[in-house]
Amino acid sequence: MIKPRKTGRRPADTEADAMERAAAYLPLGPVAFEVMLSLAGGAQHGYAILRDIEARTGGEVSLHAGTLYRALFRLVEQELVEELEERPSAEADDARRRYYGMTALGRQVAAAEAKRLANRVATARDRKLLRQPRSV
Amino acid sequence: MSAPVLARLYRALLRGYPRTLRDRYGEEMARVFEAGAKDARLRGGLAGLLWFCAGALGDVVRGVISERLRASAAGLRERQVGEEWPVETSIERMHPLEGLWRDVRHGVRSLRRSPAFTVAAVLTMGLGIGANAAIFSVVRAVLLRPLPYEDADRLVMLWGEMTQRNVSNFPWSPPDYLDFRDQTTQLEDVAAVITFAQPLTGDGEPVQVQAGGVTTNFLSVLGVRPALGRDFVTADGEFVEQPAGAPAANAMVILSDVLWRTRYGGDPSVIGRVIDMGGNPGEIVGVAPPDFALHMPAVAGLASTVDLWTALRLDFVNANRNNVFLRVVARLAPGATLASAQQDVSRIAADLRARFVIKETSGLQARLVPLHADLVAPVRPVLLALMGAVVLVLLIACANVANLLLIRSVERERELAVRRALGGSRSRLVRQTLVDSALLSAAGGALGLFLASLGVSAVRFLRPAQLPRITEIELDGTVLAFTAGAAIFSAALFGLVPALRASRPAVTQVLRASGRAPGLALNRVFRDTVIIAEVALSLVLMIGAGLMMRTFSALQRVDHGFDAAGVLTFNVSLGNRFPSPEARRAFRDGFESRLRALPQVTAVASGLPVPLDGTLFHGRWGLAEALTNPQAFRQANYRVVSDGYFEALGITLVEGRVFTRAEIQDSMPVVVVDELMAASAFPGRSAVGERILVRISTPEPVWVEIVGVVKRQRHESPAEPGRENIFFTDRYAGLEGNLTWFVRTAGDPLGLVAGVRQALAAIEPTLPVSDVRPLASFVAQAIAPARFTLTLVATFAVIALVLAVVGLYGVLAYAVKQRTAEIGVRMAFGARASTILRLVVGQGLLLSGIGTVVGMLGALALTRVLASMLVGVSATDTRTYVAIAALFLVVATAASLVPALRAARVQPMRALREE
């Protein structure tokens, strides 16, 4: 895997710039993308991410601890995910757990990846691999 | 298996990850794993948990390999070097550890390239190492770890031996105990213990608990201090003479941790409380520590879990010397040895013999045995035999992997030759093969550890009877170290031959055009020897399993002399509820008639002890000669039974009659004996109407008349007929109402339980019903050790068989591969497919035939260790040997057929063209 240049945190200037910067991280690995999808709904701790992925995919994707944390390790290294200092909410808190959330860059990369995949799905529709979504 | 144990194993596996990742997320991974494991267990039960663990194991292995590869790839890029295998010139300049790391990386890569080989080798090692780790953890907990008492190796059991009557492991009477305690110079202190059922009433539901009656120094002799309150003091055990009708003196009580928590809610203020112990007052003075357990040899017949301890208030000085019931344990004095202490107690026993005629005539001796050795004596041979068996399995596994490595090393000959030609030093090539072996055995060790943890849970789940300290069995640091040792030992063993071979590849030959390695004659001999050894070793285990299977089926077919099916047994301990015999009798008759009125009940009786429950009442008997010569007394088992006992248990009357009602009501001195007793006392004639001398409720032996003879019953063990039996009526023995109840039903015995409780509650609500068990469960429990041994030996035999078959298949498949050209030539010259088939199968059968013969000879020598456990079959049983050998040859033929069929399908033209 190619490790992109560390970009640091700088103000996002234009959307085009942001997309270009995010593109350097694509494609995201399938595991990394699943993790980002889970975090898109808000910060979570490790086990919650696992359960979320499992629930979302109807058990089709079921990760073990090693795979999850290896992915988190890379994502944190690339500054797409950060370990949170503050806890999401007092009642759901568990002091022993670390919470993970998306960085602004991470959100852009995840969006770019989703867009990339959406393009592929659109192509599949064009070529009649998928039925057109019903018009509303 | 508990989640924390799994999590610990998982943490150990995480060590494989690079430091950076592990330091940051290791702890969290373990926690997520634990949560996942709990979840999987909840959702999918044991199968779900296993599936989850298997997945997690795969995940770690995959993760570790890919992280390590990633780390080294990053390192390589930084140095800007990359090569398929390490080029020696650059290697030599590296740090030695770095070179080793490259070997590891190269090894992992090449193992990944041949997944079938890797899986076979790792699985083989995993089975071998796992079996060893599992059995070793049992051996360690049971045989090696000291008992959980202070300086446990200084503790000894003091047994009585009646040498003239061939009785060993005899208990002592209270005054005998005093003599030993007061006269010894080599024992620091001497304590005594008995266990008995004790009703607890007053606080809610009446229950029956196991009590340990002890001398006041018992805990201090073991070096155990109460967790709460105080230990017993001498005054707690003082005998208090009671005027008739006066309330009994308080019995001093130390609660077990479990009873304290369950019945008294873990309340520290129970100290000083007076409780109702079946009509007698008991005063709680302390609570024992949570881990305190009574570890006593099974022959002592003591309960293994004790709910409360009470200081025996006995008239130790004036008690009858013929009433023996105390089990005595002592601590060696500082400076004393087992031998000097033995001399000491022998001297005291000699003094006892001089003072009491009966002790002289029975040939009483005192014998000291270290407590731990005594405790494990019944299981030690089995455990050692098992340890031997699993070492054999590991040797088989090593042989198999050595073989696989050899086959592979021939395939890699070209690679090694190239490296040698490029200047790779011999030591580097040897190191590479050793690293390959180490990698395999490390992976095998990890898998083995996982399998062992499953095995340990299985053992704890099966709870084999007679295996002491079973709850202490665990995979601890020592077992981990042992496993690592086994893995290293195996790696050295199976890695050595291929390593030596790698040190001298035939460079010029191999590098010539065809590149086909010549099959060296030496290799072939080695491989064949390995296969023969495997076959022989697995045959030994299979024959052991076959003999155990015959034993087990013989035990199940044994005629016990009584019909256990459909009988429910239980106890009603009266305590002090009915002090007078009349009241006891009234209770007994009332309860019995209520039991008879229950639906489906066909017979009700009571008796003691329960057949096959492990307890025996030793008694003596004699003929007229014994009146003048006490040495003429002989030993028998006394049994006390109620009216209708023989009918209720389906025991056949051989001669005479059973007790009449009148005989029972008038406590007449009559007995029923079994066939063996009749034959011993009155050989060649009828025993009915004859008289014998016995002593059960009288101070001295008295005459009783034999009214009937019943068929033999197996009371002591299903494996052997045992000693003579004499049956007394409960009233004559003065035990009525206090016997175990036997209720025969036409339906399921356990269906009676509610009815029995109601029947008792209707007439006596304060008394508890306890020890409710079908009689058949005593029979099952008696054959449980054989069942457990059979399960284990059979498991290992199957593992060994699978390994041997895989080995055989591997060798033949390889031979066929190497001889493809030769087979092609033969077929081109007109050989039929059937000829080729016969050729390959013949080779397989020759190897397994030789192995079978060697294995049978080995079994003849080795199954002798099983001899003491065998029943109804000899250790050299021809039928078992022949059947197992035949079975093995059938399996070997099947294993040979697969490569043989492949050989027979060789197309001559293609085979020749490839050459």
**Interatomic CA distance for residues B466 and B559, integer angstroms:** 23
Are B454 and B1 in contact, with CB atoms under 8 Å apart? yes
Q: Give me the pLDDT at residue A95, please.
A: 56
Quickly state the pLDDT bin for A135 (edges 50, 70, 90).
very low
**Interatomic CA distance for residues B769 and B305, integer angstroms:** 18
CA distance A46 to chain B (A): 7
**Interatomic CA distance for residues B92 and B426, integer angstroms:** 13
Beta-bridged to residue A125, according to DSSP, are none
Shortest CA distance to B740 belongs to which of B655, B864, B640? B640
CA distance B105 to chain A (A): 19
**Interatomic CA distance for residues A83 and A85, integer angstroms:** 7
Is residue B740 helix, strand or coil?
strand
Mean pLDDT over each residue of chain A, to the nearest integer: 80
Nearest chain A residue to B13, by CA: A66
**Interatomic CA distance for residues B333 and B431, integer angstroms:** 56
* B31 touches A at CB < 8 Å: yes
Contacts of A69 in chain B (CB under 8 A): 21, 25, 28-29, 32
Looking at residue B857, its amino acid is: L
* A35 touches B at CB < 8 Å: no
**Interatomic CA distance for residues B788 and B782, integer angstroms:** 11
At CB < 8 A and 24+ separation, what contacts does A56-61 make?
A: A61/A34
Quickly state the pLDDT bin for B688 (edges 50, 70, 90).
very high
CB pairs under 8 A between A and B: 54
If phi over 0 gives left and psi between -120 and 50 gives alpha, with beta otherwise, what is residue B279? Answer: left
Q: Quick one: average pLDDT of B686-698? A: 88
* A67 touches B at CB < 8 Å: yes
Per-residue model confidence as pLDDT tens digits over A43-78: 888 889 999 998 998 888 888 888 999 999 989 988
Residue B513 pLDDT exceeds 50: no
Taking an 8 Å cut-off on Cβ atoms, the answer to whether B25 and A97 are in contact is no
Shortest CA distance to B555 belongs to which of B290, B888, B788? B788
* A98 touches B at CB < 8 Å: yes
H helix runs in B80-162, sequence order: 88-92, 96-113, 115-139
Contacts of B31 in chain A (CB under 8 A): 46-47, 96-97
* A77 touches B at CB < 8 Å: no
CA distance B768 to chain A (A): 48
Residue B455 pLDDT exceeds 60: yes
* A46 touches B at CB < 8 Å: yes
Residue B86 pLDDT exceeds 80: no
If phi over 0 gives left and psi between -120 and 50 gives alpha, with beta otherwise, what is residue B623? Answer: beta
CA distance A29 to chain B (A): 15
Taking an 8 Å cut-off on Cβ atoms, the answer to whether B63 and A73 are in contact is no
Q: Give me the pLDDT at residue B162, please.
A: 86
Of chain B, the percentage scoring pLDDT greater than 90 comes to 24
Taking an 8 Å cut-off on Cβ atoms, the answer to whether A66 and B24 are in contact is no
Which of B31, B35, B63 lies closest to A66 in CB terms? B63
Per-residue model confidence as pLDDT tens digits over A17-41: 777 778 888 888 889 999 999 999 8
Taking an 8 Å cut-off on Cβ atoms, the answer to whether B33 and A64 are in contact is yes
**Interatomic CA distance for residues B608 and B705, integer angstroms:** 21
Beta-bridged to residue B390, according to DSSP, are none
**Interatomic CA distance for residues B751 and B773, integer angstroms:** 11
* B62 touches A at CB < 8 Å: yes
Mean pLDDT over each residue of chain B, to the nearest integer: 83
CA distance B25 to chain A (A): 7
**Interatomic CA distance for residues B293 and B304, integer angstroms:** 7
Q: Quick one: average pLDDT of B187-194? A: 95
Q: Give me the pLDDT at residue B160, please.
A: 92
**Interatomic CA distance for residues B170 and B489, integer angstroms:** 46
H or E segment to which residue B329 belongs: strand B327-332
Residue B88 pLDDT exceeds 60: no
Contacts of B59 in chain A (CB under 8 A): 64-67
Is residue A133 helix, strand or coil?
coil
**Interatomic CA distance for residues A54 and A58, integer angstroms:** 6
Residue B247 pLDDT exceeds 80: no
Max avg pLDDT among B69-78, B153-162, B495-504, B690-699? B153-162
Q: Give me the pLDDT at residue A96, please.
A: 59
* B719 touches A at CB < 8 Å: no
Contacts of A70 in chain B (CB under 8 A): 21, 63, 66-67
**Interatomic CA distance for residues B436 and B431, integer angstroms:** 9
Taking an 8 Å cut-off on Cβ atoms, the answer to whether B32 and A47 are in contact is yes
Q: Quick one: average pLDDT of B842-854? A: 90
**Interatomic CA distance for residues B214 and B195, integer angstroms:** 9
Taking an 8 Å cut-off on Cβ atoms, the answer to whether A50 and B63 are in contact is no
Residue B517 pLDDT exceeds 50: no
CA distance A16 to chain B (A): 32
CA-based Rg of chain B, rounded to a whole angstrom?
35
Nearest chain A residue to B29, by CA: A65
Residue A6 pLDDT exceeds 50: no
Looking at residue B107, its amino acid is: G
CA distance B106 to chain A (A): 20
Q: Give me the pLDDT at residue B90, please.
A: 42
If phi over 0 gives left and psi between -120 and 50 gives alpha, with beta otherwise, what is residue B255? Answer: beta
Contacts of B60 in chain A (CB under 8 A): 64, 66
* A88 touches B at CB < 8 Å: no
Are B198 and B575 in contact, with CB atoms under 8 Å apart? yes
Q: Quick one: average pLDDT of B278-293? A: 90
**Interatomic CA distance for residues B738 and B575, integer angstroms:** 9
Which residue did the predictor score with more confidence, B424 or B299?
B299
* B63 touches A at CB < 8 Å: yes
Shortest CA distance to B36 belongs to which of B57, B52, B54? B52
Q: Give me the pLDDT at residue B439, please.
A: 87
**How does B366-390 read in b/e, with b if 16+ C-beta sit within 10 Å?**
bbbbbbbebbbeebeebbebbbebb
**Interatomic CA distance for residues B731 and B165, integer angstroms:** 28
Contacts of A62 in chain B (CB under 8 A): 55
Looking at residue A60, its amino acid is: E
Taking an 8 Å cut-off on Cβ atoms, the answer to whether B29 and A65 are in contact is yes
CA distance A96 to chain B (A): 9
For residue B903, give both structure tokens.
């050989």
Beta-bridged to residue B778, according to DSSP, are none
Distances (CA, A) of B515 to A28, B417, B420, B511, B802: 45, 10, 15, 6, 34
Nearest chain A residue to B73, by CA: A1
* Residue bearing tokens 């520590």: B289
Taking an 8 Å cut-off on Cβ atoms, the answer to whether A70 and B24 are in contact is no
Taking an 8 Å cut-off on Cβ atoms, the answer to whether B28 and A64 are in contact is no
Q: Residue B343 class from Cβ within 10 Å (0-12 exposed, 13-18 middle, 19+ buried)?
A: middle
* B36 touches A at CB < 8 Å: yes
Q: Give me the pLDDT at residue A36, please.
A: 93
Residue B683 pLDDT exceeds 80: yes
Residue A2 pLDDT exceeds 70: no
Which of B24, B35, B63 lies closest to A67 in CB terms? B63
Residue B173 pLDDT exceeds 90: yes
Contacts of B36 in chain A (CB under 8 A): 47, 50, 64-65
Per-residue model confidence as pLDDT tens digits over B742-786: 999 998 888 888 899 889 888 888 888 888 889 988 888 888 777
Q: Omega of the bond prior to A27 within 30 degrees of 0, cis?
A: yes
Are B845 and B895 in contact, with CB atoms under 8 Å apart? no
Shortest CA distance to B776 belongs to which of B649, B869, B674, B647? B649
**Interatomic CA distance for residues B635 and B167, integer angstroms:** 8
Other CB atoms within a 10 A radius of the CB of residue B470 amount to 17
Q: Give me the pLDDT at residue B120, please.
A: 78
Per-residue model confidence as pLDDT tens digits over B792-824: 778 778 887 878 877 787 777 777 767 777 888
H or E segment to which residue A83 belongs: strand A81-83
Q: Give me the pLDDT at residue B179, please.
A: 94
Nearest chain A residue to B25, by CA: A69
Among B119-123, B450-454, B863-867, which stretch is predicted with the lowest mean pLDDT?
B863-867
Quickly state the pLDDT bin for B84 (edges 50, 70, 90).
very low
Per-residue model confidence as pLDDT tens digits over B571-630: 887 777 787 888 888 888 899 999 999 988 999 999 988 888 877 788 888 998 888 887
Distance of CA B32 to the CA centre of its chain: 35
Is this complex's ipTM strictly greater than 0.90?
no
Helices B19-79 and B3-14: crossing angle in degrees, nearest 10, is 20
